[in-house]
A and B are shown apart, each in its own frame.
Chain A
Amino acid sequence: MTIRMLIAAGAALAATGTVVPALAGESLDAVRERGSLICGVNTGLSGFSAPDSEGVWAGLDVDVCKAVAAAILGDGEAVEFIPSTAQQRFTMLQSGEIDVLSRNTTWTLTRDTALGLNFAGVTFYDGQGFMVPAELGVTSALELDGATVCVQPGTTTELNLADYFRANEMEFDAVVIESFEEVNAAYFAGRCDVYTTDASGLASVRATTAPNPADHVILPEIISKEPLGPVVRHGDDEFLDIVKWVVFALIEAEEKGITQANLDEMLESTDPAVQRLLGVTEGMGEALGLSESWAYDAIAAVGNYGEIFDRNVGPETALGLERGVNDLWTRGGLMYAMPAR
């Protein structure tokens, strides 16, 4: 338990004022001077940030970094990826080792305030769900009274599970297993009725590990909110604006139908919103302190949000996730970009 105590101690220390506020504009100047963006990513989370067989980083979080780098420097490859663990990620950001943290980090109140961080938007809405064998005939998590639940310890997952069952006055038996591989094996071997973790994780486990994916259903209830997004340091408002608006630009591009492929045709578009976004009508880039082609460069580097999603975690990938709440607001999802004007 040493690790957890240390994290607590580290977080407490960080919270009690050892955080050094950065000066406004510092990050942008540093990135320009260096000629590259330093981006903290996960050490290996398939679909979000993981090196492929050649050690090249790929994933949704990685693409967000590339988009930011492209917006600032005009080159989506001008990123240095620094793998970080869950414990050290905030320190790395606070101490200036990285410019932006894009590492499946959940936006919470304490992180946003006491830890001295700023969340620049949400790039993936995740949440904890339940998976059960289809043969049980369960259609709702509310029918799970008395179930045996496989869960990994030491995560918020375990706490959310207890909260949910208590709130709904249900009983459960937890089968707590430390290793991810083993908890999967335990569920598929029938040691428990229910498997709970983040919905994206359930979907990928079902897609890759289940002997027959159709034998398992993911229940519709999502019992926790895990909004994941890029994070920057407190106090550097200019840089926060940039990262925030790059995320918005990616979403806006999908809404307006701008893709990596039709980007140049879209420059001819008569839609004023598209013209403003792509810098045909000038002013947006200047307001951000960037070149007018900032959004153009970002989309040219990684595509719009929908393309990023489909390429990394979408139905055609090994993860095989549906858009769900991560769809555009116009299609019933939560992805909503503020107007660029």
Chain B
Amino acid sequence: MTDPTLTAAADEQRPPFWRTGAAGWVRTNLFNTWYNAVLTVLILWGAVAVIPPMMDWLILNAVWGDVGPDACREAGAGACWSFIHEKYRLILFGLYPFDEQWRPLVGLVVFIALLGVTMRRQLWGRPLALAWAVGAPAILILMYGGVFGLTYVPNTNWGGLPLTLGLSVVGLVVAFPLGILLALGRRSEMPIVRSLSVVYIELIRGVPLITILFMASVLFPLFLPSGVTIDKLLRAQVGMILFAAAYLAEVVRGGLQAIPKGQYEAADSLGLGYWRKMRLIILPQALRISIPPLVNTFIGFFKDTTLVIIIGLFDLLNSAKTALTDRAWAGFYIEAYLFCAIIYFIFCYSMSRYSQNLEAKLETGHKRRR
């Protein structure tokens, strides 16, 4: 006698193969409705049409290594990476003296390492502050030279990635506290402070960054007495700080306004003064909820540094454009811009990932999950 349950199990049919495994996944995810099926086919067709030629151009037919421009001009040649090979030091370090370029390289590595360490909140504390206190002057000494047997390199010769990173990081580090003060000033009950903040923010936000850089580099020197000049890099840096501060102020103000009035009143009822109230109760919450727009502003500002091109500073993008002016290598602009794009992407994407990570860590429950 057979066990009825066994026969029932044997009779039970397996689901058809197109509902399980890979085929099932494809069916439920890619071809579940007619329009999704059409979209899938279209996208597949697009990928087949675009990806192989792109790979051919980017890698298979590309010209690599230490060869002259003629190899890139041969029929059928793909991307000319030998252009980057020839020019990468000019692009990365601008006009910094060729034989001394190990200095900005070391500076860059130290700087990025310090930034990387600073990203880990559990490491915040006295040793890190000390590391910055030693590291920042060390980087400056490396860049300027003039001591310890290093030749002096004026900052008019700085360029490339160190300049881009320096302008943006120094700009943000100084502009951020300034922005917080401006945001507090704009929400202040003191009429003079408030109107000054409003006027400053609206004035700066009302003009493009390019205008401020122009003021700093073209108009400002004319107002100085003859023979007195202020460093071009410093002028640009100050202009960028003033600009970033106005934008950051508005972001922080958004955060301040999102804090319920009860929080302010609770702080008041604890007998906290204005600064302690802000520092202990309001700002920690306001800044936390402002992280996404803050990082948005940071990333925008990082890319805005490319505008220093109009005042003749050799940031990363301008160095690449200068590399392109070499007539012998004329016309390889796609390679140069791709190279820069990759570098900018790495930094912007890291910032973006870090901010998501920070948001998750600081999540206190009064915010919806994304």
Contacts and interface: CB of A to CB of B under 8 A. Distances in A.
A96 B230 CA distance: 10
A19 B225 CA distance: 10
A10 B219 contact: yes
Contacts of A43: 312, 314, 318, 322
Given A53-B86, A97-B229, A87 B218 contact: yes
Contact of B156 (A44, A56, A82): A82
B314 A54 contact: no
B298 interface: no
A21 B227 CA distance: 10
A314 to B, nearest CB: 13
B221 A55 contact: no
Interface string A46-83: 11001111111000000000000000000000001111
A223 interface: no
Given A55-B97, A88-B311, A2 B210 contact: yes
B312 A96 contact: no
A81 B211 CA distance: 25
A84 interface: yes
Contacts of A208: 327, 330-331
B98 interface: yes
B251 interface: no
Contact of A97 (B96, B208, B232): B232
Q: Which 8 pairs of residues, A with B, have the shortest CB-CB distance?
A: A318-B327, A95-B221, A20-B226, A44-B325, A54-B98, A44-B322, A46-B327, A55-B95
Q: In terms of DSSP, what is the predominant structure of the interface of chain B?
A: helix
Contacts of A46: 325-327, 330
B154 A80 contact: yes
Interface of B: 86-87, 89-90, 93-98, 154, 156-157, 208, 210-211, 214, 217-219, 221-229, 232, 309-312, 314, 318, 321-328, 330-331, 333
B330 A209 contact: yes
Of A43, A45, A50, A209, chain B has the most CB atoms within 10 Å of the CB of A43
A53 B330 contact: no
Nearest to B310: A85
Contact of B227 (A55, A82, A96, A209): A96
Contacts of A181: 331, 333
Contacts of B154: 80
A47 B326 CA distance: 9
Given A20-B225, A55-B90, A87 B156 contact: no
Contacts of B95: 51, 55, 81, 83
A6 B211 contact: yes
Contacts of B156: 80, 82
Interface of A: 2-3, 6, 9-10, 13-14, 18-22, 26, 43-47, 50-56, 80-85, 87-88, 91-92, 94-97, 181, 204, 207-209, 317-319
B205 to A, nearest CB: 15
Contacts of A207: 327
Of B156, B218, B310, B325, chain A has the most CB atoms within 10 Å of the CB of B218
A309 B222 CA distance: 35
Contacts of B86: 53
Nearest to B101: A55
21 contacts: A6-B211, A6-B214, A6-B218, A13-B222, A47-B327, A50-B325, A51-B322, A53-B323, A54-B90, A55-B89, A55-B90, A55-B93, A56-B98, A80-B156, A82-B232, A87-B214, A87-B310, A88-B217, A96-B227, A96-B228, A318-B327
A88 B310 CA distance: 9
B229 A96 contact: yes
Given A2-B208, A44-B324, A83-B95, 15 more contacts: A2-B211, A9-B219, A10-B214, A20-B225, A43-B312, A44-B322, A44-B325, A50-B326, A82-B232, A85-B311, A91-B219, A92-B221, A96-B229, A97-B232, A317-B327
A55 B86 CA distance: 12
Nearest to B97: A55
A173 B143 CA distance: 52
B308 to A, nearest CB: 10
A207 B225 CA distance: 47
Nearest to B333: A181
B327 A45 contact: no
A267 B98 CA distance: 36
Contacts of B217: 88, 91
B246 to A, nearest CB: 17
A83 B326 contact: no
Contacts of A209: 330-331
Contacts of B211: 2, 6
Contacts of B312: 43, 82-85, 88
